[in-house]
A = this chain, B = another copy of it.
Amino acid sequence: MMDFLEEPIPGVGTYDDFNTIDWVREKSRDRDRHREITNKSKESTWALIHSVSDAFSGWLLMLLIGLLSGSLAGLIDISAHWMTDLKEGICKGGFWFNHEHCCWNSDHVTFEDRDKCPEWNSWSQLIISTDEGAFAYIVNYFMYVLWALLFAFLAVSLVKVFAPYACGSGIPEIKTILSGFIIRGYLGKWTLIIKTITLVLAVSSGLSLGKEGPLVHVACCCGNILCHCFNKYRKNEAKRREVLSAAAAAGVSVAFGAPIGGVLFSLEEVSYYFPLKTLWRSFFAALVAAFTLRSINPFGNSRLVLFYVEFHTPWHLFELVPFILLGIFGGLWGALFIRTNIAWCRKRKTTQLGKYPVIEVLIVTAITAILAFPNEYTRMSTSELISELFNDCGLLDSSKLCDYENRFNTSKGSDLPDRPAGLGVYTAMWQLALTLILKIVITIFTFGMKIPSGLFIPSMAVGAIAGRLLGVGMEQLAYYHHDWAIFNSWCSQGADCITPGLYAMVGAAACLGGVTRMTVSLVVIMFELTGGLEYIVPLMAAAMTSKWVADALGREGIYDAHIRLNGYPFLEAKEEFAHKTLAMDVMKPRRNDPLLTVLTQDSMTVEDVETIINETTYSGFPVVVSRESQRLVGFVLRRDLIISIENARKKQDGIVSTSIIYFTEHSPPMPPYTPPTLKLRNILDLSPFTVTDLTPMEIVVDIFRKLGLRQCLVTHNGRLLGIITKKDVLKHIAQMANQDPDSILFN
């Protein structure tokens, strides 16, 4: 089958853009390669070294991916932080400092007002030399919007001009690529450079988007580019996809500082083919990436994780009720978001709207910035907001959210009892409610624009706000009504019963789960963020409820919905195919079509074959013993056939249109003066997959999924009857689910 490896004709065995790879063939090729190296290794020391270095190249590659994606994540974090602060002002002590660092270096800073120091100048201070009064406010407001527009304009222009693939979160496309699809340039160096730059710009512009999803794309670009340094991975599409799975894990690992969660995310959400070997390597890459990021220390606090929290109070069984309520909210929000966002994206695709991406981005940025500035909670960056919402109020917290009455009136160290909310908390509640509405609405329009945009952070923000609101509500309820039956068994007066920060965390998990339909990886990420097994049950309850509610309202997660919207040929591995159709209902040719186009093994001339190639567009042809018997010999790919005939005509003497093509092992002796024959057995796949016409489609779908086939031949009682391609399978699934089968676009 793989003889052509030894005498390669350039191009044979490669794929066109927007085509599906054949996993079986790719894995076979890799095993052949491996076998050859192992056999040679006994011959010389040099070959032995080559063999050992080949075996370890996978681990080396993982190390490099970890280092590179960790460094890039650190760079993005630092730049985004600085540019976000640039919207509000600049540091006189050195313009390259962000607000926090600027005041660290200051001598004039007190503990209470950590954020205020003379070195840090707001724009109004710089321009009109004051920070007080309505005019200064307007100046700051104006500068904020101006910077936001500038960043967004730069981001969308760079994407449009240099790398159109750099937009979006990239996860739907990466899922599709990992399932065996080819999108050239999607993980290339231009995409990497432009995505890194524009991601910083997009995050800094204050739009309702996160950098976590795009970081997965960035890590996968790193993986793909580094693959080029290793023969083993450069030339083999299947092996390269193993590396990309690991890179995706490294991406999530640096996005959240959660290496185990990253591996599980790659396993649960992104990957298609995930052997155990990849599991170990992913874990290694994720760890290296996380430690690289920690050494860069972008948050300046030695913490690996994005939102470090520590809670002091255990939860009570009764609290499962509000947690499940949050789960329901998360599921509803997830279903609503997916539906409206997909509807809006479809509108963008099909109407004039899609033609003006720059204007769209500028309008959305302007609206976001104008509405965001007046409200403290929308003005701060979304990750800061989430941090603050997760935070359990300690003694020294100066945040409005911690403005309870009798704040300093406690005896028990850092363990604060439940207290009545003060004015600050009530104000914060109102502002948070407004923030919630703004985030819900604006995120629907933001996700899918032509800039890098992730969904994790906005979804978590929505959930965290809802959770904190509910948490504070519960806390006040428990404080004022601790004699109610539901409270009095576990919540005595003056005790610290309810932690609103935990509610925020549970809400964030619920909303993220509703949108992405992750469960285990989500809980593990959250668990790594907090580092306590204690809260697994609340998180699990919320994540499960959210998934069930959202699934009841629509089966697909946001990534699958976007895959379908774009018509990518992605064969979902999670859904069972549940219809009772047979292979004969799906195969081509259909009942009234002309017969299947086949080649015979020893009776067709070059001209016959070229005619068939020119008259059809099939990507491959079955080869049979004879048209009468229809007994299958093998399968030959169109691309290989074209390249081989062309090559033979150029290089092999005497090949003319009347030369007979032989797919058999030996060609019979030819009478003199006939043109030489063309032997093409080397490009023939002698082990094509076949199923009978009566095979249930559920089994066919299973075979396609598990073996990663591109096509499968259909026989009846030993005779060749038809062919099923991956596209046929996808179209059939779409049809059975009452969707438009023509929405599947590529091969």
Contact = CB atoms under 8 A, between A and B. Distances in A.
B28 A699 contact: yes
Contacts of A691: 687
Nearest to A633: B717
A260 B267 CA distance: 14
A485 interface: no
Contacts of A283: 519-520, 523, 540
A108 to B, nearest CB: 33
Contact of A31 (B28, B533, B698): B698
A280 interface: yes
B576 A31 contact: yes
Contacts of A702: 24, 27, 707
A276 B268 contact: yes
Contact of A707 (B1, B695, B698, B706): B706
A650 B52 CA distance: 67
A629 interface: yes
Given A631-B717, A718-B631, A304 B625 contact: no
A87 B27 CA distance: 59
A574 interface: yes
- What is the oligomeric copy number? 2
Interface of A: 1, 24, 27-28, 31-32, 34-35, 38, 259-260, 263, 268, 275-277, 279-280, 283-284, 287, 291, 304, 519-520, 523-524, 527-528, 531-533, 536-537, 540, 544, 573-574, 576, 578-580, 583, 625, 629-634, 686-688, 690-692, 694-696, 698-699, 702-703, 706-707, 715, 717-720
Given A268-B276, A698-B31, A707-B703, A632 B533 contact: no
Contacts of A573: 276
A520 B717 contact: no
B284 A578 contact: no
A599 to B, nearest CB: 14
B574 A35 contact: no
11 contacts: A27-B698, A259-B536, A268-B276, A583-B687, A625-B717, A632-B718, A687-B696, A687-B699, A702-B707, A718-B718, A718-B719
Given A24-B702, A287-B536, A706-B707, 18 more contacts: A1-B696, A28-B699, A32-B580, A35-B578, A35-B580, A259-B536, A260-B527, A275-B574, A276-B573, A531-B532, A583-B687, A625-B718, A630-B718, A634-B692, A686-B692, A686-B694, A686-B695, A687-B692
Nearest to A688: B692
Contacts of A27: 698, 702
Contacts of A544: 280, 284
A499 to B, nearest CB: 19
A263 B703 contact: no
A504 to B, nearest CB: 22
Contacts of A699: 24, 28, 687
A34 B578 contact: yes
A630 to B, nearest CB: 8
Contacts of A280: 519-520, 544
